[in-house]
Chain A
Amino acid sequence: MNLFLDGIAWIFDPAHLNGPGGIWVRIGEQLSYTFGAVALAAIIAIPLGLWIGHTGRGRDVAVLTSGGLRALPSLGLLIIFALAIGIGFKAPLLAFVILAIPSLLSGAYAGVEAVDRRTVDAARAQGMTEWQVLTKVELPLGLPLLIGGIRSGVLQVVATATLAYFASGGALGVFINDGLKTRDYAELIGASIIVTVLALLLEGIFALLQRLFVPRGVTAGRISDVRSRPLRPRAVVGSPIQEGK
């Protein structure tokens, strides 16, 4: 446990916290990668995902592509970009955008698809246009899953952004690289603690957001019966999945 105490002591050393290459700056870089990459990925993936979910077209392609993208090792991807477009912040950012896309894409189409088809039919039968069906029915009801996708993308990138230092892109990985080189275990553990706490904080914030965005009525209880308990236990806000940490 002493190592962890050393790590914590390392974090709170003012010499490490402040200054141009200090902890605060690196945290800022880590978060910039996270939100920057997710925002860019969202611009591409969410409209595409909604379209796929609404029309049902291109679903198989989307499933296959996002499956394939998930299998990509994030470290390799990042390094390929670094070699191709040069070191700096662009290469990691691009790699992280690609990492975030599968989660956002599947969150968007799965959200729309998860909406009960009878509800959609009913909306259409009442005379809603396709646009209205999408924006007034499918989107609000699919929102929890969509946000889940964003959450999972954010967590994936915040964890993976640690690797940006391989492309000389800064962020918290710089400390880990330093610690590994100089065998400074306090620095290694300290930086690891910061990354983990950052990820847990974001996870908490998104868990809360997701809970807020479950439409009222969807979470309402269901009848029970001696014969059959409800097949689907009520929706529970769950946890994300990320691969390329």
Chain B
Amino acid sequence: MALLEVKDLKVRVEEREILHGLTLTVNEGEVHAIMGPNGSGKSTLSHVIAGKPGYEVTDGQILFRGEDLLEMDPDERAAKGVFLAFQYPVEIPGVATMTFLRTALNAQRKARGESEYSTPDFLKKVREVSKSLNIPQDMLKRGVNVGFSGGEKKRNEVLQMALFEPSLCILDEMDSGLDIDALRIAADGVNALRSPGRAMVVITHYQRLLNYIVPDFVHVMSRGRVVKSGAKDLALELEASGYTQFEDA
């Protein structure tokens, strides 16, 4: 059974159709890149999979391990193992990052009927992961993303990914606003999480990110559809020829 099956998905936002019948299949262990120009519906796809309010699914299906994802609340999806790394992670003033991580992790574990982490186990785990991501401990005491640099915000997303151990990671424009060093640290963190039991969907406008996170498959989106799919070389082709060839597709 595929991990994620998106079948002929049609989505509207305020009466305007954004996705016009999108189909995508992702198996465990695979890394898929979704590329496309601005406004092609890449972010809409990621939001609909994660269950963001404000989108109306008019047709099609999203199955996660064969279960209907669209029937689930966003927090249920998270507990099932769907993780979205945000393009613009929000700031939550007054809520220490550490508190947030722990509350979220325990909420997910509780939803799955697992026991909550003990404080020492949790701290140990956070320390390990944050060290590998070059995240200083005092950053974890600050409010969630408050005063974080672009790079810190993205690393905080990867930190959560590592802590929550989701089976599907969707990375929405992870490279936006990052310089090359920050990008490398974040990408290394993501690569460390690649495993046979976990799939990733990497959404990006530029090929650059895919030098660091090398995908197994590349899909090109245009005007709410996947217009071309191929192996990793497709990204390089696109970099050379641009998206204009697909604009009229």
| Binding partners A and B | no
**Interface positions of B (Cβ within 8 A of A):** none
